[in-house]
Structure 1
Amino acid sequence: MIAVLVVDDQRLVRAGLRMLCTAAEDMTISGEASNGVEAVSLAAELDPDVILMDLRMPGLDGIGATRQIVKSGRRARILVLTTFDDDDHLYPALAAGASGFLVKDTEPAELLGAIRRVADGDMVFSPELLRRLVDRAVIGAAAGSAVTEVVSLTERESQVLALVAEGKSNQEIGDVLHLGVTTVKTHVANLMSKTGCDNRVRLAVYHLQTRQ
């Protein structure tokens, strides 16, 4: 079971997320917090797998709470769920250590899938946000005259890399390539090892910088 901590200052939002998650057979709500201070305290007390984190809250906001939780070394992975998808919220949240970023009008099934992916070690973004992240990273690398080393990949690794760059999950990649999820995970791990990229966003950037 995936233990989820819900953090949001709006009671109705917390109630909706609780109903959504508890309806899933593989999830349970370990607790709720209405602000960042409570989130930090409950993360230490409950040790959840995933924290759904709002950003704008009174007192300690979601970015500050994310930073404290990540710095504490807790195993919980943080999925930001916010009304605001602008760069002023996206990049500080990622810098604080968030593992994903979704807006609150995300489809319920997509949100449940994102929770599962984050719990499984993925980084999760909507396709639009992923494209913005990749484009900004590529532009920054070009401005800095960074040279990306091209490494030798197998045909299957190249296929997996292209699908990672599209923002597809391990399950989605497996469905496209007719592979098991464990096999896909192995390919992704090998790609990270070969390219020196430590997450899927950097793999997407690598793909864009090196494709012919």
Structure 2
Amino acid sequence: MDLGSGVSRGAVFVPAIRELGAAVLVVTGIDDVDVIAEALESGAVGFVRKHQPFDDLLGAIRRATDGEDVNHPDVRAAVLGDARRVRSAQAAVLADLRRLTAHEQAVLAALMGDHGPQPGPDDS
């Protein structure tokens, strides 16, 4: 599965593919650890970056089909740990933004030209 398919964050498809009984190996050019971690958390058996040698991809496929760890446990733990740190930092920034007054939010939106994060359905 390619996480950068342009359709969506590819990780949203992992559970459905797993339900069909298939193992999901992510092959990606994306360096965003949060996106890779999302795929792993959703049930992907591992990941290979597109810039890695083709033999690495073949080895990952063999390990996945044999039920072995695709990525070394330390690599997997590092990606998941990095993603937790990224998410924590993002949550801290969002918490700070939520403390802004309505006037401060309006000024920030004007400065950003409405290109900043848009409120979600529960952020009313």
In structure 2, the residue matched to 1:80 is 26
Matched position secondary structure for 1:121: coil
8 Å contact 2:4–2:30 — kept in the other structure? no
In structure 1, the residue matched to 2:14 is 66
Relative to structure 1, the CA distance from residue 123 to residue 74 in structure 2 (aligned partners, 3 Å threshold; closer, same or farther) is: farther
Percent identity over the alignment is 36
8 Å contact 1:101–1:126 — kept in the other structure? no
8 Å contact 1:78–1:100 — kept in the other structure? yes
**Aligned-residue CA RMSD (Å):** 2.9
Q: CA deviation at 1:126?
A: 6.4
Q: CA deviation at 1:130?
A: 3.4
The amino acid that maps onto 1:114 is A
Distance in 2 (alpha carbons) for counterparts of 1:86 and 1:76: 24
In structure 1, the residue matched to 2:108 is none
In structure 2, the residue matched to 1:122 is 68
The gaps in structure 2 that reach 5 residues or longer are 86-124
In structure 1, the residue matched to 2:57 is 111
Cα deviation code 1:19-75 (max 9, x no counterpart): xxxxxxxxxxxxxxxxxxxxxxxxxxxxxxxxxx000223344211112212xx222
8 Å contact 1:102–1:126 — kept in the other structure? no
Distance in 1 (alpha carbons) for counterparts of 2:74 and 2:41: 19
8 Å contact 2:46–2:70 — kept in the other structure? yes
Q: Which runs of 4+ in 1 moved over 4 A?
A: none
Q: For 2:45, which of 78, 89, 99 is the aligned residue?
A: 99
Distance in 2 (alpha carbons) for counterparts of 1:58 and 1:85: 15
Distance in 1 (alpha carbons) for counterparts of 2:42 and 2:21: 15
Relative to structure 1, the CA distance from residue 61 to residue 90 in structure 2 (aligned partners, 3 Å threshold; closer, same or farther) is: closer
Matched position secondary structure for 1:125: coil
TM-score, normalising length from structure 1?
0.34
TM-score, normalising length from structure 2?
0.56
In structure 1, the residue matched to 2:4 is 56
Distance in 2 (alpha carbons) for counterparts of 1:126 and 1:107: 17
Which structure's CA Rg is the greater one?
A: 2
RCO comparison, higher one (Cα < 8 Å, 6+): 2
Distance in 2 (alpha carbons) for counterparts of 1:85 and 1:127: 18
How many residues of Structure 1 are paired with residues of Structure 2 in the alignment? 84
In structure 2, the residue matched to 1:207 is none
8 Å contact 2:48–2:56 — kept in the other structure? no
8 Å contact 2:3–2:26 — kept in the other structure? yes
